[in-house]
Amino acid sequence: MIATELAAYALTAFPHGTLAEAAPKGIDTTGIVTFFAKNIAPILLAVLGVIFIGRASRGEISKVLTSSAIAIVGLAFIAGAATLFFLGDYLVKLIFS
């Protein structure tokens, strides 16, 4: 008896339209990406520079050149991925619009 009264109260207190959730929205990550691009990336590059200078002062030129080449190739891959991301976005908009 108590359960039926509670069910009846719940049905009258909450109309059918209010129980539906709002449609989910996308997550806006532009602020996070710009924060990393402006603050974190330069700090990491500065740390790499300090490590390279420290190694070069100890005479480990071959290790510095190898690490520098690896860092440059990594930056090229990151730049290429960003370019392909924007190119893909452009192509999708071009095809589906």
Tens of pLDDT along 1-42? 666 776 666 666 565 555 556 676 777 777 887 888 788 888
Question: In this predicted structure, what is the pLDDT of residue 25?
Answer: 77
pLDDT tens digit sequence for 50-61:
888 888 888 888
pLDDT score for 10: 62
Buried b (16+ CB within 10 A) or exposed e, 29-43: eeeeeeeeeeeeeee
Q: What pLDDT score was predicted for residue 44?
A: 85
Backbone torsions φ then ψ of 23, nearest 5 degrees: -65, 140
How far, in Å, CA of 93 to CA of 97, rounded?
A: 6
Cα–Cα distance for residue pair 18/76, rounded to 1 Å: 51
Q: Which residue range(s) make up the domain with 73?
A: 30-97
Using the 8-state DSSP alphabet, how is residue 97 labeled?
Answer: -
Dist. CA 10–CA 4, nearest whole Å: 10
How many folded domains does the chain comprise?
Answer: 1
In a domain, 17, yes or no: no
Whether 40 is covered by a domain: the verdict is: yes
Residue with tokens 């806006």: 28
Look at residue 16 and tell me if it is in a domain.
Answer: no
Is position 97 within any domain?
yes
Residue 38 counted as domain residue: yes
Phi-psi region of 50 (alpha: psi -120 to 50; beta: other; left: phi over 0): alpha
What is the model's pLDDT at position 71?
A: 84
Is 4 inside a domain boundary? no
